[in-house]
Structure 1
Amino acid sequence: MYVLIVGAGQVGKMIASNLADSHDVAVVERDPEVAEEITYSFDVLSVQGDGTELETLREAGLERADLIVACTNSDEANIVVCGTAKSVSDTFTIARVRRRTLLNTWEGSEGAFGVDFMVCTDLLVAQTIFRISGFPQAQDVEMFAGGLVRMAEFDISSDSPLVGQRVEEADQHDSMTFAGVFRGDEMIVARGETVFCADDRIVVIGSPSSVKEFAMATVTDTTSSTDDVVIVGGSEIGFQTAREFEAHGFEPRLVERDHERAREIAEALPNTFVMESDATDTEFLAREHIDEADIVIAALDSDEKNLLVSLLARRVGVDRTVAIIENTEYGDLFETVGIDVAINPREETAEEIVRFTRTDQTEKIAMLEHDRAEVIEVELGPESALTGRQIADSMADLPECVVIGAISRDGELITPRGTTVPRAGDHVVLFVDATVLDEVSSVL
């Protein structure tokens, strides 16, 4: 596939990095220094110029492009790029936007703007926060097979009963599979003899109920719910997050310092209790019983402010904190100082876009630990190496660093075992080392 990426910011670089080994990639960037850096950093064609101009797109290979990704920092420019490309070609176009109003317009008018698929960053982040909030200690949560299957990544604390157990001892849930373990810089495929250690991050795949029961029983000793949600910051991400919780029956609290913005949010979100204040004011935190919150989400306009708010929340006794970070290099720092989950909007956007480059049968992907591993959903065809054979036999045709986590058949969840025989049309959810993804895809 020939992929043309317009915009070499963090999103563009992440997409280029992910695709360079398996696709022909060209990147258009206006900044000459950044365009030159791309040339030396990745095995891609770099074109310096304005991606909204047809001649620049042609210079980058528009006529042979299978996919165009417009991911500059300007919503309007991204839409113009797609419209310009569509004026002379039928290539598939993807536009990254931040404003949900543009997404609403596009969804309400088929083919609007010349965009085939639109990714709304702020909405993606809000949905991610909501998914994670329902699972204690979860670092990442994704849905597969139409919601029938959950994938979750958990931190293992030193006091977890999992520490020192083997996978075969901990495997007590009928509809859940242990998939992988991240230990420092090492990625371990979960086998029966694998022993869990403190500070491991483990990936499990199974039914929503089993994954949640597992989390409550073994990952953490807390039994608290996520009823009391506090969102700090009336940014677009903060607003969309509150709206997402409202849509699922919650009544979140939102703290916003600016009077006009607080009033605007209060009018738009009737089930959100908006408090006009500075969230770094410790007297305010005490007065409003922020310490009783089940989760505090920091969605202010800078990484530094989000770090400060999160640390204050932990200091007053909040069990769980989630912070938005724009700088990808801050992720490890935030978690090192005690922030439970750090979410980068650009990473969320890149992951959503990358799935369009997968083979036709791949339904969905989730990238873990900066794409060291992926969880993918594949619909099996009659020629797949898994179809019509017991899993114990067919796994010989797959690399060792692959785990079949779940199977969906006609709306029912099947927990895979060695004697399970997948059929054509089944949806299979697999945990795969990212380095062998192309090899796995070729036999599925």
Structure 2
Amino acid sequence: MRLFNREPKADQLKVVIVGAGEVGYHISHRLAQEHKQVVVIDQDENALRRISEILDVQTILGSGSSPKVLKDAGAANADIFLAVTDSDEVNIIACLFANIIAPDAKKLARIRNEEYSGYSKELSENLLNISAIINPEVEVIKSIDRLLSMPGAVDYNEFAAGKIKLIGVRMGHGPLLDQTLMNFRSVVSDSDVIIAAIVRDDALIIPGGSDTIQKDDIVYFVCKNTSLESVRKACGRSLDPIKNAFIIGGGNIGFRLASLFEKKGIHTKIVDSNPDRCSVLAEKLDAALVLCGDGTDQEFLQEENIAEMDVVVSLTSDEETNILTSLLAKNLGVKKTVTRVNKLAYQPLIKAVGIDHSVSPRLSAVNSILQYVRQGNVLSSVSISGEGAEALEAIAESHSEIVGKPIKDLPFPKGTLVIGIMRDTEVIIPNGESVILPDDRIIILTTPENVARVEQALVVTLQSV
């Protein structure tokens, strides 16, 4: 057992995590950054050592499905219980015992098997009292869908039921280039568009009026649905929708994505090297064209006119193959590539070698889990620029300290912005004088080190009740 470097405070949120793999590690990393009390359980001594050498968390060697181990980990006092091992069965059993040991804790389970997912209501309400079941395959499809919903963007998220957009665009040209933010309104007169953040050389900047937009910056715009054209003009980029897609890899994720593209009316080709799998895909898919072939074969790709595709998505289980096929597609003239990469060590290489986007089922699962970990009435949470920032969508509770004050007077630390408000059906892109009212849906952009203070401001204050 490894204990904390610093003694946890009594009022710290306590999170017990079963599973020290990629998902468990990255959730632990995020929560430890936010000074939460984190306990990680795993049977793999090397995985625990990796965590304990880097993070200030407690680690316990043992099975997360053992009630004795859970009790030793202090699960009875946990506020949140996360079962995120690679085994669905271990995660289900861990939640079963956690429901007995800590019935009031919020419980989340990572479950991939569709047979189990079909009983999500029973698992959530009747048996285990699980708050949410997270399927990494489903979450990565959501990530890809968001990316491709705005083809000219490198990052895209929606809030307030899709009425507020957060769009990251790499600046290559356009009227905003080399302009200071003080001149923003002289270029973009639309008051429903603001700039929330700038990413430059992998560093995230919450900009001020004197900051200048430079070539190759990724600029994050916040806007209403009706202002997308204003963003397009400001960036000098086309935001035309995807019409033709090519999927390499016909596994579960490839099949799910092809099914989604069919529903959206996107002309889709999906290729897999296994003839038996191709037969299954052909039976299950209606409009998509199923091809049996090698996605790394240049001649095969040329025969299929890959250069005419708007996007190539590489989703095989082998990430080296995914990287190779994406590079080959770019070399053959494809406009956009999306690559499945699980090894985080490869992530910094993706843009360096010319691949447009990378997605990871594990990291997509982490983002989904985080929204349930947040204190306050948080509806959704997404990471911006890796882990450089986080956008939270929350309901303003009537007695919280953010209600009834101009935004410029809110008790938020530097580097935290309120970037959107939805009041009933009205959408507001706020300024410093805007006032948050009870039950407003608000979107807050903040950095990891400030999340704890933002959560504190969102929670109902007992003194006010």
1:248-291 per-position Cα deviation (integer Å, ceiling 9, x unaligned) = 33342211111111111121121222111111222221221111
- For 1:75, the equivalent position in structure 2 comes to 88
Structure 1 position 199 matched with structure 2 position 216: yes
2-structure distance, mates of 1:403, 1:262: 48
Aligned to 2:242: 226
2:251 equivalent among 235, 252, 255: 235
SS at match of 2:165: strand
**What secondary structure, in the 3-state scheme, does the structure 1 residue paired with 2:443 have?**
strand
CA distance in 2: counterparts of 1:435 and 1:141, whole angstroms: 23
- When residues 433 and 35 of structure 1 are mapped into structure 2, their CA distance, relative to the original with a 3 A threshold, is closer
Three-state SS of the structure 1 residue aligned to 2:376 is: coil
Q: C-alpha distance in 1, partners of 2:157/2:100? A: 36
1:93 to 96, 107, 113: 107
Alignment of 1:129-140 (within 5 A): 129-140=144-155
Tell me what 2:117 maps to.
103
1:436 aligned partner: 450
SS in 2 for 1:133: helix
8 Å Cα contact 2:23-2:362 kept in structure 1? yes
Counterpart residue type for residue 11 of structure 1: V
403-412 or 185-194: which moved more? 185-194
State the shift of 1:109 in Å: 6.1
Aligned position for 1:153: 168
Matched, 1:373 2:392: no
SS in 1 for 2:398: coil
Q: Which residue of 2 aligns with 1:420?
A: 434
Do residues 262 (structure 1) and 275 (structure 2) align? Answer: no
Q: How does 1:325-340 map to 2 (within 5 A)?
A: 325-340=341-356
Secondary structure, aligned partner of 1:118: strand
Q: How far, CA to CA, are the matches of 1:66 and 1:400 in structure 2?
A: 28
**C-alpha displacement at 1:391, in angstroms?**
3.0
Does 1:56 pair with 2:72? no
* Deviation sequence 1:8-32 (CA, Å, 0-9, x none): 0111011111112432111101012
The correspondence of residues 110-129 of structure 1 with structure 2, limited to 5 A, is 110-111=124-125, 114=128, 115-129=130-144
Partner of 1:39: 52
- Secondary structure at 1:111 match in 2: helix
CA distance in 1, matches of 2:276, 2:189: 53
Conserved in 2, the CA contact under 8 Å of 1:254 and 1:275? yes
Find the residue that maps to 2:118 and give its secondary structure: helix
Tell me: CA distance 1:327–1:421, structure 2 relative to 1, closer, same or farther (3 Å): same
Cα distance per residue 1:316-350 (max 9 Å; x no partner)? 11100000101012112011111101112211111
Match of 1:172 in 2: 189
Q: Quick check: 412-421 or 312-321, which moved more?
A: 412-421
**Aligned partner (choices 303, 308, 324) of residue 287 of structure 1:** 303
TM-aligned CA deviation for residue 384 of structure 1:
3.9
Q: Which of 385, 401, 413 matches 1:399?
A: 413
The residue matched to 1:363 in structure 2 has which SS? strand
**Counterpart Cα distance in 1 of 2:252 and 2:231:** 31
Cα distance between partner residues in 1 of 2:289 and 2:50: 47
Q: Compute the TM-score of the two structures, normalised by the length of structure 1.
A: 0.93
For residues 357 and 202 of structure 2, what CA distance do their matches in structure 1 show? 18
For residue 309 of structure 1, the aligned residue among 325, 333, 346 is 325
* Structure 1 pair 215–171 and aligned structure 2 pair: CA distance change class (3 A): closer
Whole-angstrom CA distance in 1 between matches of 2:395 and 2:449: 21
Q: Is the 8 A contact 1:106 1:113 kept in 2?
A: no
The match for 1:271 among 251, 276, 287 is 287
What's the counterpart of residue 7 of structure 1? 19
Contact 2:242/2:266, CA 8 A, preserved across alignment: no
Give the 3-state SS of the residue equivalent to 1:36 in structure 2: helix
CA distance in 1 between counterparts of 2:274 and 2:421 reads 49
Alignment partner of 2:156: what SS?
Answer: strand
C-alpha distance in structure 2 between counterparts of 1:162 and 1:311, whole Å: 30
* C-alpha deviation, 1:77, in angstroms: 1.8
State the TM-score, normalized to the length of structure 2: 0.89
Inter-CA distance 423–74: structure 2 relative to 1 (3 Å threshold):
same
Q: Answer yes or no: is the 8 Å Cα contact 1:136–1:220 preserved in 2.
A: no
Q: How many residues align?
A: 440
2:5 is aligned to: none
Q: Say whether the 8 Å CA contact 1:161–1:218 is kept in structure 2.
A: yes
SS at match of 2:369: helix
Question: Which deviates more, 182-191 or 114-123?
Answer: 182-191
Q: CA deviation at 1:416?
A: 0.9
> Partner of 1:264: helix, strand, or coil?
helix
- The CA distance in 1 between the partners of 2:62 and 2:122, in whole Å, is 32
CA contact (8 A) 2:14 2:37 kept: yes
Aligned residue in 1 for 2:203: 186
Tell whether 2:40 aligns with 1:24.
Answer: no
Structure 2: unaligned runs, 5 residues or longer: 1-12, 459-465
Which residue type is aligned with residue 244 of structure 1? L
Greater shift in the superposed pair: 226-235 or 430-439: 430-439
SS in 1 for 2:119: helix
Is the contact made by 1:153 and 1:204 (CA closer than 8 Å) also made in structure 2? yes
Contact 1:399 1:436 in 2 (8 A): yes
**What's the secondary structure of 1:438's corresponding residue?**
helix
